[in-house]
Amino acid sequence: MLYIYLIYGLVALKDINLKIKQGEYVAIIGLSGAGKSTLLRCINRMHDISEGTLTVEGVEISKLKGKGIRQLRRKIGMIFQSFNLVTRISVINNVLVAFVPEMPFWRKTLGIFTVDEKKRALMSLDQVGILDKAYVRVDQLSGGQQQRVALARTLAQNPGIILADEPVASLDPVTANQVMEDFRRINQEMNMTVIINIHHVELALAYATRVIGIRAGEIVYDGPSQDVNDQVLQLIYNGQVDKGGSTSHANEAVST
């Protein structure tokens, strides 16, 4: 069973104490600058912690170096708001990028992928419902389809955890709901831990089973999404939330 423990003592995050079990679907919410992205990026060692411990699958990742960090990141899929895709090439070639870190140098140089790698890439595209787009250039896809390519690329590496940093911030409401549903389906069908940093409160409450609210670098709420009410939202957002659960920052990108 997977556990993540984090006690982080820096100005960005203060006295964070979390345990996230395998198979949870967690949404992290809060104002811009609250520390949401910092927390997410600590989990895969994009940021180092200055104090405390952070353990993933029994390994204290703050002690990892070099190859150990690379191996950790193979187990943790990271999805960004900007998708990080090469738009000039096909969808399947973007998904195949997931295998590059483990390929021998000569195959990297020649761009040669095995039959098994190609099958896994196609299966990942099928899992997110865009198998028919496999040989289409990415720049011909909609924003929602591009986000699904990014998700397929992450699935191809077979991670135990998916971290998503504002994955629906640039999408229209209908597409955002579709992408959030993709995350929920993958979470349920594959028992994959999903941790999403998100500004859209209504989406967090509709899809995640657990919500972590961060305010000024501290966790002020951690519990079931169904228990989040107006009083909790006012606490998380420092009074900057209306009764409908939206904030004046609802469409901003994360700036932590």
Angle at Cα 82 formed by Cα 126 and Cα 95, nearest 5°?
30
For residue 256, being part of any structural domain is answered with no
Q: Is 208 exposed, middle or buried (0-12, 13-18, 19+ CB in 10 A)?
A: buried
For residue 150, being part of any structural domain is answered with yes
Q: Which of 2-11, 73-82, 161-170 has the highest mean pLDDT?
A: 161-170
Contact of 246 with 202, CB cutoff 8 Å: yes
- Position 82 pLDDT exceeds 60: yes
Contact partners, residue 140, CB within 8 Å, separation at least 6: none
Using the 8-state DSSP alphabet, how is residue 79 labeled? E
Q: Look at 61-65, 84-88, 137-141 and tell me which has the smallest mean pLDDT.
A: 61-65
- Position 248 pLDDT exceeds 90: no
- Position 245 pLDDT exceeds 60: no
For residue 75, being part of any structural domain is answered with yes
Per-residue pLDDT reduced to its tens digit, 180-218: 999 999 999 999 999 999 999 999 999 999 999 999 888
Q: How confident is the model at residue 38 (pLDDT cuts 50, 70, 90)?
A: confident
Domain range for 124 is: 4-236
- Position 250 pLDDT exceeds 80: no
Tokens of 128: 């997110």
Total count of domains within the chain: 1
- Give every strand in the sheet of 218-224, ordered side by side: 76-80, 161-165, 193-197, 25-29, 210-215, 218-224
- Position 9 pLDDT exceeds 50: no
Q: Which of 52-56, 192-196, 237-241 has the highest mean pLDDT?
A: 192-196
User: Over pLDDT 70: what percentage of the chain?
Assistant: 89
| pLDDT, averaged across the chain | 86
Q: Which of 41-45, 52-56, 89-93 has the highest mean pLDDT?
A: 89-93
Q: How confident is the model at residue 153 (pLDDT cuts 50, 70, 90)?
A: very high
- Global pTM? 0.84
Place of tokens 């895709």: 85
For the range 229-236, what are the long-range contacts, defined as Cβ-Cβ under 8 Å and sequence gap of 24 or more?
233/201, 236/29, 236/30
pLDDT of residue 5: 54
For residue 86, being part of any structural domain is answered with yes
Tokens of 106: 């000569």
For residue 138, being part of any structural domain is answered with yes
Per-residue pLDDT averaged across 157-164, rounded? 92
For residue 245, being part of any structural domain is answered with no
pLDDT of residue 83: 83
Per-residue pLDDT reduced to its tens digit, 133-145: 999 999 999 999 9
pLDDT of residue 254: 25
For residue 243, being part of any structural domain is answered with no
Domain CATH code at residue 70: 3.40.50.300
For residue 253, being part of any structural domain is answered with no
